[in-house]
Structure 1
């Protein structure tokens, strides 16, 4: 912690240099800037831990800098001096990007406004696809608006790993661009932001992008495709190289977002996987989802293996169809699971036409929003759809109640034999699945028996081939919201070896078979031993073993 912090107008300025006593944590140096030139100088001179504090006012854009590197625990921070009076970077409706930063790491950009340009608002990239990625980037509380006609993005991220974009607002970005466009980006989060009045796309992840979470955002008439998983990227710009992958985007998660209007909510374009879960989609104008193939290179996969789960989807009679399917795709590989479908024009016509059968869908029941007329799409407390859709304030957080009833301890079982595992499980909504596990060491470790069972209450189990006196079974019940509970055997049970027991003779002797008639009713003159006769039909005096 510093007791004295330098407030410097620029790295080589003589005017405006002041030293002020403050008690700030983290920053090694804080630099206040109030002109474009001072801002550029401060960027070029920035060292790990520095904060560049931008005073209120208007600043011309078209700024490009490179090699801005903080360190872990000592990021370089660009932020407003007064977050309540955010500085404005304005290109005066002329062409050019407002701020471009190439080759950056451990960088934070906060509390700024970018507006009025015919170009991108903020651009952060790796310099070239062959260069190492920029990484550990935080972008927070930006307003980006009015980016003119053409392919201009509010925020353009190219070759950026480990990033977060939070609490931003995007309005009227470029007519051919996206609010946020990610090209070859990985391990990132876009969260808590608003995308309003776009033309084409709200968020796009393409060019080899992978493992990006789009969480808790609001899309208000965000354009033709509010979220696009994939795209059409020139092969040169892929990260990693297009020769090493066959998808535009992979494993993108879209969760707890609200979509209002727009032509469609989510489009899959040459994408692998993708999870669209617990979103609220309200009255798109033409389609709800799109499954498309638009990458011209023949080596790229068809869109496939997406999962669409537990969304609330409300539409009206103006909708063309629920899912628009383009040629060259694999729509049958998409899974639709437990979505809530409601046609406000005709609730009885709420069952959509889907490319694959849905599991556990709900149709034609009003989800009961707080006030749909004002687009307050939170659920009422008496909503039947709690646990579905984007509203986390009424999300299901109650775990199931589960009890293992057998084998619960004390049983004597045999290797390779069969027994029935039984349990009871309940949930405030429904138990979605049950997993069973087995322990041979009294519960210290467990191995999976079977996963994803329905809550039938019983399972026929073939016991393992290894004997133990410390057997236990564990049952795990899960609901659709991801809550889980478990119970295990109260005590150990035995799994005994079912194979014949080997014994050794303690010697041979001659015995006399007496009484009875032949082999059918033998009695031996000796007692206290078990005898094995060597013949199948012994006569008196037959040689036998005493064990």
Structure 2
């Protein structure tokens, strides 16, 4: 499945205008690679282009720095086609639709930009009718006029990820999946002032446009999820419209203008009901309201759970009243978002788009769009920090990111720009490298105390068009004892100095267990007395070079054994 330069199974055809591109697509066989030279291309319409699961037909820009630019009433149209990858085109200035796919399946759109729809009443930068198994990776939509950035009508099994939507002051929708669309995911996207309703579930559709044959269910949208997205401004961050079982979770929402969420009914047969709003991080100021509830909806049936709220204009009133009681809300303290919208305040780090638990939560949904997900993993960088790790006084740990991978694209494999470690999760990186050794003392200087922590790994890759990064977390446990039983002075060596500590406290009782500090006085076996059993623990780990194990006198060892037996009898 890897898309590496020269790895195609078929012919390579180079084209420089729309007629030549059309001819190449009409005659393409599975595995063929069509390479587009830089320049201006007129409106393209093609149908019945078919690759296979083993060999997609690839349509790629020859020079990513100078992509082909399509324009016209519609820019790039593909109908009734399958197993096609399009990488690196720009569509601009179309008066009807930008990128338009109809009744097609198993399509990858990557690094595709669609922008600047001049004044059309209902023009979409990306329009999909009756499609299934679609991946949009690292695409961009901007200034889509009166339509939507992404408009899905009767589609299923779709993933949009790493994609940016921007329409400052626009009065339309960012993402709109309707017409019975289902099994759809919107993951790790950036919606920057992306219209009136940035992320919408559902909409309003005529009966004839339920292309999946599910009109009788009565929903515009169901079984959809939005996670890991950063949504700034827009009139409202999310709108639930004639939908059910749609989940908006682990997203970061910053400064919407009117509402945070809207619950509406505009199509379908049933009241909007039983959707979810959970684990989001919301930063907001003055609004028209937190929730806009329309008629014929059932907002009390929604699940509202564990969101973090911060109202910068009145922090004491951060946590709002919702249509039903929220389960375990949090907030009221500035999350201190950095330039990437990651919270630096400890109490907010488990919420929103960059929460460590977000990716595991999203994996529960990938079976809905497995084909698209599998292809996305080819392109994606992956931060794999290893672990779990444990270290104590005198020790060190080797943090190992060797399982991380940079991904690949249409022009070859990528390599990492950097692998950076944030050991105390303060937003500053403390070390860099695929494997690094960190002494215990350095971790304590960073302020880490005994107990469990998360270390963060940031993996950064620059592809042909921009820079992508991924975050991963590993558990790091700081223990208040050395790594080896018998190391009384925490120098990571069990030797005669540690024997001296044991002998000085021999047969003393009342000492804490080894793991609680008793190691410093010779209590190596986690009971409360220093005796011959502790000597045995010390001797098993004795390891200095060219030295014999010191041996207590026979009488001392005999007394130690008798003492241990008496203690055990006394306890029974």
Q: Is residue 329 of structure 2 the alignment partner of residue 361 of structure 1?
A: yes
- 1:468-479 alignment, distance < 5 Å: none
Question: Residue deviations 1:425-456, cap 9 Å, x none?
Answer: x9869xxxxxxxxxxxxxxxxxxxxxxxxxxx
Report the equivalent of 2:141: 170
Gaps of 5+ in 1: 2-21, 127-133, 401-425, 430-547
CA drift at 1:289 = 0.4
- 1:61-460 alignment, distance < 5 Å: 61=43, 63-91=44-72, 96-126=73-103, 134-149=104-119, 150-173=121-144, 175-197=145-167, 198-295=170-267, 300-317=269-286, 319-371=287-339, 376-380=340-344, 382-391=345-354
Question: Residue deviations 1:103-154, cap 9 Å, x none?
Answer: 011011110000011111111111xxxxxxx211100001111112221111
CA drift at 1:99 = 1.6
Of stretches 71-80 and 382-391 in structure 1, the one that deviates more from structure 2 is 382-391
Residue aligned with 2:60, SS: strand
Q: Which has the higher contact order (CA 8 A, sep 6+)?
A: 2
Give the count of matched residue pairs: 363
Q: Distance in 2 between matches of 1:427 and 1:252?
A: 34
Q: Distance in 2 between matches of 1:30 and 1:275?
A: 43
Give the 3 Å change call, closer, same or farther, for CA 393–44 of structure 1 in structure 2: same
Give the 3 Å change call, closer, same or farther, for CA 427–323 of structure 1 in structure 2: farther
Native 8 Å contact 1:105 1:137 kept in 2 = yes
Native 8 Å contact 2:250 2:355 kept in 1 = no
Q: Distance in 2 between matches of 1:399 and 1:189?
A: 30
Give the 3 Å change call, closer, same or farther, for CA 210–243 of structure 1 in structure 2: closer
CA drift at 1:396 = 9.5
CA drift at 1:44 = 1.1
Q: Distance in 1 between matches of 2:47 and 2:198?
A: 31
**Structure in which a larger fraction of residues adopt helix:** 2
Question: Residue deviations 1:176-217, cap 9 Å, x none?
Answer: 211111111111100001001143111111001001010000
Give the 3 Å change call, closer, same or farther, for CA 23–260 of structure 1 in structure 2: closer
Q: Distance in 2 between matches of 1:335 and 1:280?
A: 18
Find the structure with the greater CA-based Rg: 1
Native 8 Å contact 2:114 2:142 kept in 1 = yes
Native 8 Å contact 1:121 1:153 kept in 2 = yes
Residue aligned with 1:52, SS: strand
Q: Distance in 1 between matches of 2:387 and 2:271?
A: 38
CA drift at 1:84 = 2.1
Residue aligned with 1:240, SS: coil
Q: Moved runs in structure 1, 4+ residues, more than 6 A?
A: 393-400, 426-429
Q: Distance in 1 between matches of 2:208 and 2:270?
A: 18
Gaps of 5+ in 2: 361-385, 389-450, 455-572
Native 8 Å contact 1:336 1:357 kept in 2 = yes
**Structure in which a larger fraction of residues adopt strand:** 1
Normalised by the size of structure 2, how large is the TM-score?
0.61
Give the 3 Å change call, closer, same or farther, for CA 113–121 of structure 1 in structure 2: same
Report the equivalent of 1:54: 36
Q: Distance in 2 between matches of 1:394 and 1:328?
A: 35
Native 8 Å contact 1:314 1:343 kept in 2 = yes
Q: Distance in 1 between matches of 2:246 and 2:357?
A: 25
Report the equivalent of 1:40: 22
Give the 3 Å change call, closer, same or farther, for CA 396–274 of structure 1 in structure 2: closer
Q: Distance in 2 between matches of 1:219 and 1:265?
A: 9
Give the 3 Å change call, closer, same or farther, for CA 283–399 of structure 1 in structure 2: farther
CA drift at 1:241 = 2.8
Q: Distance in 2 between matches of 1:271 and 1:79?
A: 37
Q: Distance in 2 between matches of 1:394 and 1:48?
A: 40
Report the equivalent of 2:463: none
Report the equivalent of 1:493: none
Native 8 Å contact 1:188 1:213 kept in 2 = yes
Give the 3 Å change call, closer, same or farther, for CA 377–48 of structure 1 in structure 2: same
Normalised by the size of structure 1, how large is the TM-score?
0.63
Native 8 Å contact 1:368 1:383 kept in 2 = no
CA drift at 1:240 = 2.4
CA drift at 1:82 = 1.5
Q: Distance in 1 between matches of 2:338 and 2:276?
A: 28
Give the 3 Å change call, closer, same or farther, for CA 396–240 of structure 1 in structure 2: closer
Residue aligned with 1:204, SS: strand
CA drift at 1:25 = 1.2
CA drift at 1:379 = 2.2
